Structure 1
Amino acid sequence: MKKIVLATLLGVSLAAGAATLLKADPAKTSVSAVFKQMNVPVESKFKKYSIAIDYNAATPDAAKASVEIDTASLDLGDADMNKEVAKKDWFNSAAFPKASFVSTSIKSAGAGKLNVTGKLTIKGKSADVSFPLSVKADGAKQVFEGALPIKRLAFNVGEGEWKDTGMVADEVTIKFHVVAGQ
């Protein structure tokens, strides 16, 4: 009898500390790319993505996250430009329809702050990346905000004539604001 009670208590204790799968609220969540075109800042949002976050505020170091972005869904505000960025020289969305991020480590960095490490894959090229992330409770939901600076040419985004960074800068920041709950 003692073993059953102890096992039950341990099971409840372990379950209470386990991460919880959160679903992103698409109406309140955004993922965008910020870059300079002809030295003018541009922010363009991705319209299609899926985000999975396993998170429990009591045990942030057990958290995990994965993101998939439909590369053809980048909205530059012009239909012709949207088609252009999906072509081979840019995202090559026909061959590489998704960009992805999968966390390998999420560590607490103080109240409301996390350090995230993982693998970013764009256009078939992968790189280990790290970035800070803020997290705060908003009622029953969690709000995650962060920015990941990358170099687009490291992922072959902008080939051919577009390798010249005079027109479009190499530096791109992937910004995200994720509101998620059960």
Structure 2
Amino acid sequence: MKARHLFVPILLIVMAATAQAAPAKWDLDTAHSGIYFDAKHIFSIVRGHFDDYSADLNIDTDNIVNSSCNFTVQTKSITTYNRKRDTHLRSAELFDTGTHPTMTFTSTKIIPKGGNRYIIEGNLTIRGVTKKISAPFTFHGVKPNPFKKTEMVSGFTTQFTINRLDFKVGDGKFFNMGVIDKEVDITISMEAVK
């Protein structure tokens, strides 16, 4: 009977510890985050970003490998500060924003690489094509918002490269002409709040 009575409080302690360790929902601070890209055009680098995006973030700041995320980007929000180029990027020849209004990333695994460095794996979907990708990222830590002490802020940065032709962003014509490289460098700088 004694062993049976001991089991209940031990179970409650384990359940409480598990609940505390579970990832928590954080809100993406879009005012202080960004999704940027660099693409080579003949000799120069064209830089741009997406203005409209959202994310579901479940972050365990004590053990980042337990975290997960889902990003949704509105493709028509692509901006390179050139109206003609942006119109072309939104056209059926490239992003085809009319047919494919969003691109998404869903994480599947996070692997520790030492210190505050990690690898995130997941499924990236662009123009209806889904590919598994992995990208290194840095977790910058957590601290109170200097303007609002009751709010916590966490930060992450990732940089990786994709082949746009793998996702049918173009048919290779401009790459073969030596105009637009097939590789695109992506940088995501993110702050989340709770």
Task: Place the TM-score, normalised by the shorter chain, in its bin.
Answer: over 0.9
Match of 2:86 among 73, 82, 87: 82
TM-score, structure 2 as length reference? 0.87
Separation (CA, whole Å) in 2 of partners of 1:13 and 1:31:
36
2 CA distance for matches of 1:155 and 1:8?
49
Does residue 155 (structure 1) correspond to residue 167 (structure 2)? The answer is: yes
Match in the other structure for 1:24: 28
- Match 1:48 to one of 52, 56, 68: 52
Give the CA RMSD over aligned residues: 1.7
Asked if the contact 1:120/1:129 (under 8 Å) is kept, the reply is: yes
Change (3 A) 1:21 1:33: same
C-alpha distance in 1, partners of 2:33/2:107?
19
Q: How does 1:101-112 map to 2 (within 5 A)?
A: 101-112=105-116
Q: Which of the pair has more CA radius of gyration?
A: 2
- The aligned amino acid for 1:121 is T
2:129 to 125, 130, 138: 125
Q: Judging changes above 3 Å, is the alpha-carbon distance between structure 1 residues 165 and 12 closer, same or farther for their aligned structure 2 residues?
A: farther
User: Normalization by structure 1: what TM-score?
Assistant: 0.92
CA distance in 1, matches of 2:172, 2:22: 48
SS at match of 2:25: strand
Q: Deviations over 1:131-172 (max 9, x none)?
A: 110001241211110012001111111237435351111110
- Paired residues, what number? 182
- Structure 2 Cα separation of the partners of residues 132 and 84 of structure 1: 31
**Post-superposition shift, 1:55?**
1.3
Work out the CA distance in 2 between the residues paired with 1:96 and 1:167: 24
Partner AA of 1:157 in structure 2: V
Percent identity reads 21
1:160 and 1:12 map into 2 onto residues whose CA distance is: 55
In structure 2, the residue matched to 1:61 is 65
Match of 1:99 among 100, 103, 114: 103
> Amino acid of the residue matched to residue 75 of structure 1?
T
1:169 equivalent in alignment to 2:181 = yes
Deviation for aligned residue 1:42: 1.7
1:66 shift after superposition: 1.3
3-state SS, counterpart of residue 114 of structure 2: coil
1:22 is displaced (CA, Å) by 1.4
SS at match of 2:15: helix
| Contact 1:53–1:64, Cα closer than 8 Å, also in 2 | yes
Whichever residue aligns with residue 52 of structure 2, its letter is: K
Inter-partner Cα distance in structure 2 for 1:110 and 1:21:
24
Distance in 1 of aligned mates of 2:116 and 2:29 = 20
- Unaligned 5+ segments in structure 1 are none
